[in-house]
Amino acid sequence: MANRMGEHATSENLLGSYLRDRRAKLDPAAFGFSPARRRTAGLRREEVAQRANISPTWYTWLEQGRGGAPSADVLDRIARALMLTDIEREHLFLLGLGHPPEVRYRKDEGVTPRLQRVLDALEPTPVLIRTATWDVVAWNRAVAVMSTDYGSLPPEQRNILRFIFLDPRARAAQYDWESVARFVVGAFKMDAARAGAAAEVEPLVDELCQLSPEFKVMWRDNELRSHGETVKHIKHPVLGPLAFEYSAFAVDGRPDLSMVVYNPVTPADLDRIRSLIKR
């Protein structure tokens, strides 16, 4: 019991220290508060409490390590009041509640030039970046020649589910299109649920249900699939049979994005793709 109480006190002390540190880094003038006659840098406790719409006394207790466990709603308000980044907000929740916050889906904001350079450096391996709703927001040339040139499509059409169910090229490239399509639907459901993007995918799902009877059936089957690591076999219209090891990775600092890598299984396949890119 004593150990648990000690651990709880330590957690509260860490939370208080973190709140004081973040408060000290804010410029009062940027929030309309007078910077005059301040003994320490940053906002005052009552100013943070005012911005978070909570009791100044309770906020003071939180900083002093004696406020008890705050609710997720209160931590969210404090995070906004302190202008925390997503990473800082997650750390606040870990200190305050012992677990990260629920996922907040963030609409596509594109990728940085640095991340695009990473994709380009991985050629001739096809690599793309997709959102939790499976919109493709970045890709390298290997993807364009092996699958589809997303740059030739309007941004609102750059979606993997659209490609699988509405583009005849996707069907022609698969040895067992139905199996692949079922896997895609199940994995898509898992990604959207993890990202808290159920509302965001509704328009796409409704449209695909209208345009593709097969999608409608698979969506209603409620099969769920995890990505894992697997080998995908395709029939390329120029290169013929190819095999890829499929892997998906989270993008650091961007929980809304995944990097999908299609690594050719054999050196010979890699060389054939390289030769096609150079044409």
Kindly report whether the global pTM for this prediction surpasses the value 0.75. no
- The pLDDT of residue 105 is 59
Q: In terms of domains, do 92 and 145 share one?
A: no
Using CA atoms, how far apart are residues 137 and 162, in angstroms rounded to an integer?
14
Q: Which residues pair with 130 in a beta bridge?
A: 136, 258
- Give yes or no for residue 63 having a pLDDT over 60: yes
Using CA atoms, how far apart are residues 63 and 19, in angstroms rounded to an integer?
6
- The pLDDT of residue 111 is 83
- The pLDDT of residue 244 is 95
Q: Which two tokens stand for residue 70?
A: 């705050």
Taking residues 58-68, what's their average pLDDT?
85
Which residue type does 245 have? E
Q: Which of 97, 121, 141 is the last residue of a domain?
A: 97
Q: In terms of domains, do 14 and 89 share one?
A: yes
CATH number, position 83? 1.10.260.40
Structure confidence by residue, pLDDT tens digits, 25-47: 998 888 888 887 788 888 999 99
Structure confidence by residue, pLDDT tens digits, 152-180: 999 889 999 999 999 999 999 999 999 99
- The answer to whether the beta carbons of residues 235 and 175 sit under 8 Å apart is yes
**What's the domain range around 246?**
113-278
- The total number of structural domains in the chain stands at 2
Taking residues 124-138, what's their average pLDDT?
93
How confident is residue 1, by pLDDT bands cut at 50, 70 and 90?
A: very low
Using CA atoms, how far apart are residues 133 and 189, in angstroms rounded to an integer?
9
